[in-house]
Chain A
């Protein structure tokens, strides 16, 4: 084992119009051991403007809410996957409801994961932390930006006890 350098924070971009959800997200990462840097955008237009800006530093992961004003998560995902500069960006879709048809379509459109926002805060915290843990583990193993899409049955992330022990 090499001695660890000053850790580079794991950058997270959260696109969610709901400020409560943003603060839940912030709260969920409050005592998280992995250093993270969280940025917010509050609608799809703002998101796309930020991502396509000249010389922009892309985040390690984008948490993309489905229901947003002006441009929804669905449209943003399609635009991201059609943009050659963005097509390797890791996108975790993130929504209150779970519609099988919607989830199928998002999988087809190339999102990495789907998370249903839990209603118990403890679960909320766990699932966000688990997802980030999984991604950071992956980052150490693989080249950044080439995170493969999982199988369909693993597309929807659920709280897993084994990962949080």
Chain B
């Protein structure tokens, strides 16, 4: 019994110890309640037995004291055990942790093992492959040995070939030197050829220039020839007319027929000469002069014969015969004038260009004085204004004024006295706004007007052409050369002339002549 009690105490002690050591509270409470009930039961029993106990107490005190000592020993041991249990728990926890670690490690090792096993397999495969490769290499080695032997043979061959090539190279060097030498020779020759080529190119250019000049000269000649042919045609027509009239008087004027034939022959000659001139490149101006000169001679003779007939054989001629002879004379005279005008026209260009600074009004005054008698007779009034000095060929300028005045007289209105005005002023080319004039130089602008019959403006160009006439020569006498000569002279002076007019309202001629001629 005492042992139980001591156990209980021990238990109580443990309980408290548990509390003190914070052992599981739930377990402690339940066991406490049960122990409380046990203690209460035991208390009641203890009360019933108290007196018994009290006697025994003393004994027991002694024992209790022993027990307390024992208890203290036990309590101490208990405490040690609790410590040891706590240490064991900690150790257990440690072990659990270590176990877990070891399990992880084991798992890792399992994986590592598998990997190693795999690698092992791979290595085995690789080893097998290496064995095969080794065999292959051994085989290749053998092959290379063979090949090396072959190469050694080939090398020898190459050395031999190399030597051959060196020999050949030496030969080529010699050949090359020869070629270099030949090349130099050829370069020299090429240089010489270049020089020669340049010379030829230069000569070629010169020839081309000359050819161009000849082409221009040829064109001019062709043009002149055409003009000449036109003139020849005119002359032929005139000749035919003459021949016709001569036929009428055949018996009495046999000499005239002969002369006419001669004229026709000379005309033919002239045409032949014109053809020769083209090929001979002769100057047509000379030709015009020569041929016109030749034409004058037979004409002069025709006139002489006619006048001899009229003067010395008058009594042998019928009135009709006399009339035809007079017509022949007039016709021959007309042809003579034509030829003379043609010569003047031709000379206007070929004359030596001797320009002199001249007072144009002085020349005009000279011409006017030549016309004085006619002016008085025909009641012509002429007015001159302004003053101009210009570089002109005197006799040519004189001719212009003379032709213009003759023209005015010829084409004056019947029964109306002529009124002529001549004025001049100096203007700059630029101011005139005429394109064909040079803007930079000064011109003498001469304006000539009359109150004659004028002309249809559509003919303003044509009146300046050679042999162009607006009227038949029964109406108005003339060769149609006067204005052509004026134009040629003005052009000879590097000037221009133009006409303005209306039918029945007079004519105006505007001329521009450079004040100075540029050499």
Q: Which A residues are closer than 8 A to B by beta carbons? A: 18, 20-21, 24, 27, 67, 96-97, 99, 101, 117-122, 124
List the A residue with the shortest CB-CB distance to B303: A119
Asked if A119 meets B299 with Cβ closer than 8 Å, knowing A24-B304, A27-B308, A124-B304, the reply is yes
Which A residues are in CB contact (< 8 Å) with B289? Answer: 99
Contact A121 B293 (CB under 8 A): no
- Do the beta carbons of B336 and A96 come within 8 Å of each other? no
Within 8 A of A (CB), among B274-313: 289, 292-293, 296-297, 299-301, 303-305, 307-308, 311
> Assuming A20-B305, A97-B296, A119-B303, what are 15 further A-B pairs, CB within 8 angstroms?
A18-B297, A18-B301, A20-B304, A24-B301, A24-B304, A67-B293, A96-B293, A96-B300, A97-B292, A119-B304, A119-B307, A119-B332, A122-B307, A122-B311, A124-B304
Whether A120 pairs with B303 at a CB distance below 8 angstroms is: yes
Q: Are A121 and B296 in contact (CB under 8 A)?
A: no
How many CB-defined contacts (below 8 Å) exist between A and B? 45
Show 16 residue pairs from A and B whose CB-CB distance is below 8 angstroms, ordered by the A residue.
A18-B301, A20-B301, A20-B305, A67-B293, A67-B297, A96-B296, A96-B300, A97-B343, A99-B289, A99-B293, A117-B300, A119-B333, A119-B336, A120-B304, A120-B307, A122-B311
Complex alpha-carbon distance, A97 and B300, angstroms:
10
Question: Which A residues touch B300, using CB under 8 A?
Answer: 96, 117-119
Q: List chain A residues, Cβ under 8 A from B332.
A: 119
Q: How far is the CB of A128 from chain B (nearest CB, A)?
A: 12
Residue of B nearest to A120 (CB): B307
Chain A residues within 8 Å of B308, by CB:
24, 27, 121
Chain A residue with the shortest CB-CB distance to B255: A20
* Mask: chain B, 172-212; 1 = CB below 8 Å from A; 0 = not: 00000000000000000000000000000000000000000
Residues of A within 8 A of B292 (CB): 97
Q: Is the CB of B304 within 8 A of A121?
A: yes
**B-side binding surface: helix, strand, loop or mixed?**
helix
Report the minimum CB–CB distance from B269 to chain A (whole Å): 14
- Min CB distance B8 to A, Å, is 189
Residues 345 to 401 of chain B near chain A (Cβ within 8 Å): 352
Nearest A residue to B395 by beta-carbon distance?
Answer: A100
Alpha-carbon separation in the docked complex, A119 to B332 (Å):
10
Q: Are B304 and A97 in contact (CB under 8 A)?
A: no
Contacts of A27 in B (CB 8 A): 308
- Whole-angstrom distance between the Cβ of A139 and the nearest chain B Cβ: 29
The interface size bin for chain B is 10 to 19
Residues of B within 8 A of A124 (CB): 304
Those of B310-349 within 8 Å (CB) of chain A: 311, 332-333, 336, 343
User: What CA separation (Å) do A67 and B289 show in the bound complex?
Assistant: 13
Alpha-carbon distance between A24 and B304 when the two chains are bound, in angstroms = 8
Complex Cα distance A118/B303, Å?
9
Least distance between B316 CB and chain A CB atoms (Å): 16
Contact of A121 among B299, B307, B343 (CB under 8 A): B307
Q: Give CA–CA (A27, B304) in the complex, Å.
A: 11
Q: Closest chain A residue to B336 by CB distance?
A: A119
When chains A and B are docked, how far (Å) is the Cα of A20 from the Cα of B297?
11
Q: How far is the CA of A117 from the CA of B301 in the complex (A)?
A: 10
Report the Cα distance A71→B293, complex, angstroms.
18
A119 to B352, CA, bound (A): 29
Q: Which residues on the B side are within 8 Å of A97 (C-beta)?
A: 292-293, 296, 343
Q: How far is the CA of A97 from the CA of B289 in the complex (A)?
A: 10
